[in-house]
């Protein structure tokens, strides 16, 4: 769906009108294109103490030009600011102000990645304050950057150093054009994930919930297929024609199945095992809405949304873990929503189901780790789909602008995040929910 306002406002006449009237002027985002360089540029400024030497060396090995101090009139494609050594709020000042000096030199579509440590209940107050302060700093900078730039954080668990293999994959994703609509988000990285054996090309079933060959589900299928996946697509019999069309497009296998059936997980495992081999990647994209104010909500509306959006995932995960059909390092990704974080009027059932997904992946992380795998969620914000096209025009236009990038995302933005979490590069990321929302002001 075309954002006509964004197109108009980026013409010379539109830009003058925006300046004169104080209108929002969203920049056209630089998104990943197959065959193109995923980095928006090669000039990277690395801020922090001597502990960043290995990080700088890794970036040099990738062909980047690395700077260690802000320089007058320099232009940077990316800035990495390392706060991992901070033990007290006072320790944040020097690197924070260096980052501030570098912002004027950040190029259009630039990337800022802030490195910190996740807080823990046993942290003493000063340490806890410093670690929480890094996230607050990152979120504010994400609101300040312009021209399609983004700012995100990697919170490195104990044992994960800035230049380690565990951090390299998530850092590469956040520095790349694949993360164009991810802004203001913290992502925690654990130790040991990069050493887990994973196949070079993912394959596995992708639950496709969008119909008509468009939308988020089809974008995910195409993304995984481009990455070498052999895909099993699952949808209800009523969507069989559209399901077959996308399956034929990517050379995949179509399975007509109601995922709320008691044996859905076992059936998927049987078909995948017979047609494709071990399941290396599983994407839960199924989702329905049955909106109504809670005061008018009936049992059928509530029960159907919880059954499809949440209960089916719990049952399928359990059955697949018990099936013996998973690969050596399975990657499970569920589609949540920012509605599960902030709630939404008339969507108490939907918000409960999507918040449940966020809780589910956090709770399942240890069980999946025992199987050598990971489990995560992606929470889209306003994405330009057929569903958002049906919104009232004024509501749709307001929703597009309620984030720091001042525009809606596209289905491929979600697909890129899913592809990252399904890849070897995300072996150190589990139990996490990655928001793809342009730093939506709706929610945290």
Q: Kindly report the backbone phi and psi dihedral angles of residue 326, in degrees, each rounded to the nearest multiple of 5, phi listed first.
A: -85, 150
N-to-C CA span, the chain: 27
CA distance 264 to 268: 6
Q: Which residue has the tokens 């839960």?
A: 284
- Is position 76 annotated as part of the catalytic site? no
* Nearest alpha carbon to residue 143 among 174, 173, 112, 119: 112
Dist CA 296 CA 241 (whole Å)? 35
Q: Which residues contact 107 (CB under 8 A, 6 or more apart)?
A: 40, 41, 43, 75, 76, 77, 147, 149
| Nearest-angstrom CA–CA distance, 174 and 9 | 27
Q: How many angstroms separate the Cα of 139 from the Cα of each of 40, 44, 69, 133, 172?
A: 21, 20, 23, 10, 20
Q: Specify the DSSP element, H or E, that contains 279.
A: strand 279-284
Decide: 288 and 340 in contact? Cβ < 8 Å: no
Is the separation of the CB atoms in 149 and 111 below 8 Å?
A: yes
Q: How far are the Cα atoms of 244, 253, 267, 334, 419 from residue 271, in angstroms, in the given order?
A: 16, 9, 6, 21, 23
The H or E element containing residue 330 is strand 326-335
Sheet holding 150-156, edge to edge: 65-67, 43-47, 76-82, 106-116, 150-156, 186-189
- From the list 32, 67, 181, 350, the catalytic residue is 350
Catalytic residues: 350
């Amino acid at each position: 769906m075309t954002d006509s306002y964004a197109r108009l406002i980026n013409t010379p006449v539109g830009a003058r009108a925006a300046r004169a009237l104080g209108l929002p002027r969203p920049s056209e985002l630089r998104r990943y294109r197959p065959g193109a360089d995923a980095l928006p540029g090669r000039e990277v400024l690395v801020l922090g103490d001597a502990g960043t030497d290995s990080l700088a060396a890794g970036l040099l090995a990738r062909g980047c030009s690395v700077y260690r101090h802000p320089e007058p009139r320099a232009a940077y494609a990316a800035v990495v600011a390392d706060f991992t050594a901070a033990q007290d709020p006072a320790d944040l000042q020097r690197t924070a102000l260096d980052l501030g000096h570098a912002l004027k030199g950040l190029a259009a579509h630039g990337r800022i990645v802030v490195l910190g440590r996740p807080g823990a209940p046993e942290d003493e107050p000063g340490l806890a304050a410093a670690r929480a302060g890094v996230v607050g700093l990152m979120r504010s900078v994400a609101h300040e950057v312009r021209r399609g730039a983004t700012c995100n954080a990697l919170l490195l668990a104990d044992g994960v150093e800035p230049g380690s293999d565990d951090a390299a994959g998530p850092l590469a994703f956040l520095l790349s054009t694949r993360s164009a609509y991810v802004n203001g988000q913290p992502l925690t990285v654990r130790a040991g994930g990069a050493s887990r054996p994973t196949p070079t090309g993912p394959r596995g079933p992708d639950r496709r919930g969008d119909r008509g060959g468009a939308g988020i589900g089809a974008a995910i299928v195409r993304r995984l297929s481009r990455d070498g996946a052999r895909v099993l697509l699952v949808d209800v019999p009523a969507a069989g024609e559209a399901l077959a069309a996308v399956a034929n497009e990517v050379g995949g296998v179509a399975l007509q199945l109601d995922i709320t059936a008691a044996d859905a997980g076992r059936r998927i495992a049987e078909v995948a095992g017979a047609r494709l081999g071990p399941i290396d990647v599983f994407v839960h994209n199924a989702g329905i809405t049955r909106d109504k104010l809670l005061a008018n909500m009936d049992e059928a509306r509530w029960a159907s949304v919880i059954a499809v959006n949440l209960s089916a995932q719990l049952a399928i995960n359990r059955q697949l873990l018990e099936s013996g059909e998973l690969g050596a390092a399975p990657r499970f990704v569920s589609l949540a929503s920012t509605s599960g974080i902030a709630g939404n009027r008339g969507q108490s059932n939907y918000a409960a189901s999507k918040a449940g997904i966020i809780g589910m992946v956090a709770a399942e992380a240890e069980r999946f780790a025992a199987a050598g795998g990971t489990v995560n969620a992606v929470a889209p914000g306003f994405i330009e789909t057929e569903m958002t096209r049906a919104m009232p025009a004024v509501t749709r236009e307001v929703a597009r602008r309620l984030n720091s990038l001042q525009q809606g995302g596209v289905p491929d933005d979600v697909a890129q995040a899913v592809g990252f979490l399904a890849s070897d590069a995300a072996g150190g990321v589990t139990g996490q929910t990655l928001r793809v929302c342009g730093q939506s002001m709706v929610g945290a």
